[in-house]
Chains A and B, each alone.
Chain A
Amino acid sequence: EIVLTQSPGTLSVSPGERATLSCRASQSVSSSNLAWSQQKSGQAPRLLIYGVSRRATGIPDRFSGSGSGTDFTLTISRLEPEDFAVYYCQHYGSSRGTFGQGTKVEIK
């Protein structure tokens, strides 16, 4: 079973700054099936990125994804007030899915 480990657990960033979130897989995974979601307090998650780097519909271009193999990154280029949330990486493969434990992006 693939395990996704996200770091850091919490990231303190000022509005307008750049945030870099990491997701490491326990074994090499298909880039086609690696996604990132955002969850704001009290809301359902929302898909941001799929296929490592493809933005979902309506997602602003300040969100970008990169990586391959076991190491993946979500970058938020200039944090807006609405970006402070918890971010999860997610992988699907062999009829099973898994999530990272999440990274909370908080206001510094």
Chain B
Amino acid sequence: EVQLVQSGAEVKKPGESLKISCKGSGYTFTSQWIAWVRQMPGKGLEWMGIIYPGDSDTRYSPSFQGQVTISADKSISTAYLQWSSLKASDTAMYYCARLDSNYVSGHYYYALDVWGQGTTVTVSS
């Protein structure tokens, strides 16, 4: 079974650093992009960026460039999302998801097909 398992909920103070994780299993972790998605309380989904664990090629959404760092350790099939200095506005649920590239009838189809359970990050003084 393909799974993404995320690390547990975090409660932090403004200015603190944080690194959350997403461990993949049941597929070749190095061969599929992993996306990070933010969902602020009561709001919709926001695309943060993606990483290709095979070579750590990383692409950020302009809104999140410079605000977070996405990384991966392919030896343990784990992707990470980290902050160097948290703000209250970082309070949200964070999801990782696999960006599947499905080759069917001569076409590649891309979609987020498997999601982690989410990690709640609360930043409060």
Contacts and interface: CB of A to CB of B under 8 A. Distances in A.
A85 B95 CA distance: 18
A47 B109 CA distance: 13
A46 B115 CA distance: 7
B44 A102 contact: yes
Contacts, number: 75
B interface secondary structure, majority: strand
A interface secondary structure, majority: strand
B118 A95 contact: no
Interface residues of A, number: 27
A5 B23 CA distance: 32
A88 B45 contact: yes
Given A46-B115, A92-B99, A51 B46 contact: no
A92 B45 contact: no
A51 B107 CA distance: 10
Interface in A55-108: 56, 86, 88, 90, 92-93, 95-102
B102 A97 contact: no
Contacts of A99: 37, 44-47
Contacts of B97: 45
Interface string B46-61: 1100100000000101
B115 A92 contact: no
Interface of B: 35, 37, 44-47, 50, 59, 61-62, 95, 97, 99-100, 102, 104, 107-118
Given A97-B35, A101-B44, A45 B109 contact: no
Interface string A1-20: 10000000000000000000
B122 to A, nearest CB: 16
Given A90-B111, A95-B50, A97-B61, 18 more contacts: A1-B62, A32-B107, A33-B111, A44-B115, A44-B117, A45-B45, A50-B102, A50-B110, A50-B113, A51-B107, A86-B44, A88-B44, A92-B112, A95-B59, A97-B50, A99-B37, A100-B44, A102-B44
B17 to A, nearest CB: 25
Contacts of A50: 100, 102, 109-111, 113
